[in-house]
Amino acid sequence: MEQADILALPGAKWEAKYLEDSSLRHVTLEHYDREQVSLHRYLSFLGVDRETSREIVQESFLKLHEHLLAGGDRRNLRAWLYRVAHNLARNAQIAFSRSRTDSLPDLTVADPPAKAPSAEEELLSEERMTRFRQAMAQLSVAQKDCLVLRAQGFKYREIAEVLSLSVSTVGENVQRGLERLKELI
């Protein structure tokens, strides 16, 4: 709705429209505060570079606001956001013909340690991470996507929504992915 259209509304209708838009903006911002870091992490697991990830996250939240303004379904907006981000990431990877899901970035959060790890501990940690990345690279795309979303705390039903799969397919991908990881690590 254009600004002139909003100003032409009678007072009560204009106030209701303004309050509704303000409420929708608040819902969007709440989801942004809660999910933007996780969305960035998820996109990095999909092999999206940092700059493209920022753009996709921004676009996802813009689409969320548009979805809410259009009166879209408000049930499970978290899964809706991940599905939008997932689709945008896949579209970007296809458009640029560069899928880099074989090299996962180091996502360990550096908390200040009580004591500095020894050189041996650091080497073992790096070796574990390398083996984990190599093992993840050998999983199918569906298994990797399902495991990453499960690690983000999504339920099977939500993962199914995000990836447009059946719940049983999600369960199968998670189970097979975990079994394969155990074999490889």
For the chain, which residues make up each domain, given as ranges?
Answer: 1-100, 116-185
CA distances from 139 to 32, 50, 101, 132, 176 (A): 30, 23, 10, 11, 9
Percent of the chain with pLDDT over 70: 79
Nearest in space to 29 (alpha carbons), one of 67, 61, 77, 60: 61
- The answer to whether domain 116-185 has CATH 1.10.10.10 is yes
Cα 185 from Cα 183, distance rounded (Å): 6
| Cα gap 158→167, rounded to integer Å | 9
How far apart are the C-alpha atoms of 158 and 178, rounded to whole Å? 19
Which numeric CATH code is attached to 1-100? 1.10.1740
pLDDT exceeds cutoff 70 at 14: no
Whether the pLDDT of residue 100 is over 50: the answer is no
Would you state the structure tokens that stand for residue 136, as one six-digit string? 């993840």
What percent of the chain is predicted at pLDDT more than 90? 42
Confidence of residue 147 (pLDDT cuts 50, 70, 90): very high
Cα(first)–Cα(last) distance of the chain, in Å?
55
Residue from 49, 34, 28, 56 nearest 152 by CA: 34
Angle, helices 156-163 vs 141-151, to 10°: value is 130
Q: How confident is the model at residue 121 (pLDDT cuts 50, 70, 90)?
A: confident
Q: What's the pLDDT tens digit per position in 44-65?
A: 888 888 999 999 999 999 999 8
Q: Which two tokens stand for residue 115?
A: 């004591």
Query: Does residue 19 or residue 60 have the better pLDDT?
Result: 60
Tell me if the pTM is above 0.85: no
Retrieve residue 23's tokens: 């409420």
- Give dist(CA 184, CA 63) in Å, integer: 39
